[in-house]
A and B are shown apart, each in its own frame.
Chain A
Amino acid sequence: LAKTTQPISMDSYEGQEVNITCSHNNIATNDYITWYQQFPSQGPRFIIQGYKTKVTNEVASLFIPADRKSSTLSLPRVSLSDTAVYYCLVGGSSGGYQKVTFGTGTKLQVIP
């Protein structure tokens, strides 16, 4: 299984752009990278997914360099409601079996 590493916590002021990086040095060729957001006492919620280069949706961007050994979730102009824990997931299949590795999560605190 791919091992993923994330910073434990980050602080940011409201209105700033926040970048959270996940390291996954032994990612497999057929693995994808997905990011989830989790609020206290709730299940994780999907944010964005990608394989390589850049992916953007209405809430975030995901940057993946050519070697795919890391990925960066970018949240533009964060607000207080973005205070949550953010998880990267590296997943795919191997030999017909599911592979899923979540990072340990980054707790983002948005400051007014």
Chain B
Amino acid sequence: NAGVTQTPKFRVLKTGQSMTLLCAQDMNHEYMYWYRQDPGMGLRLIHYSVGEGTTAKGEVPDGYNVSRLKKQNFLLGLESAAPSQTSVYFCASSVGLAGYNEQFFGPGTRLTVL
């Protein structure tokens, strides 16, 4: 039982490049989330999904896209990376809404955009 895993762990991009972050969970959770964590700002919700085939915007969605084609996977895409997207990205999953249920977090992906 691996819980929540994230791929890759580290990545360096040049401005304008694209990439996809992969999140996988093996707990059969309906809800999945993508957060970014910046120094002094806590975690901010980018996008979330309440089930396979669904996505919704969070607090800071601009510049990101997501897809949930399979229940266990949640993908975060950056179409044209910008230095402002340099951050640590965390994926999480839960049985229900994050505000009412325990979230299980992955180990994070550290992204640097030059």
Residue B59 lies at the interface, judged by CB distance under 8 Å to chain A:
yes
> Which chain B residues border A42 with CB–CB below 8 Å?
105, 107-108
How distant is the Cα of A98 from the Cα of B47 in the complex, in angstroms? Answer: 10
How distant is the Cα of A60 from the Cα of B1 in the complex, in angstroms? Answer: 26
Tell me the B30-61 residues at the A interface (CB within 8 Å).
33, 35, 40-45, 48, 50, 56, 58-59
How distant is the Cα of A99 from the Cα of B98 in the complex, in angstroms? Answer: 8
> Which chain B residues border A101 with CB–CB below 8 Å?
59
Residue A110 lies at the interface, judged by CB distance under 8 Å to chain B:
no
Nearest A residue to B50, CB-CB: A98
A1-27 interface code vs B (CB 8 A; 1 in, 0 out):
100000000000000000000000000
Chain A binding surface SS class: strand
Interface size class of B (residues with CB under 8 A): 20 to 34
Contact of A87 with B42 in the complex, beta carbons under 8 Å: yes
> Which of A45, A91, A103, A105 meets B105, CB within 8 Å?
A45
> Which of A32, A43, A91, A102 meets B42, CB within 8 Å?
A102
B72-114 interface code vs A (CB 8 A; 1 in, 0 out):
0000000000000000001010000111101111111000000
Contact of B99 with A44 in the complex, beta carbons under 8 Å: no
A66-94 interface code vs B (CB 8 A; 1 in, 0 out):
00000000000000000000010111110
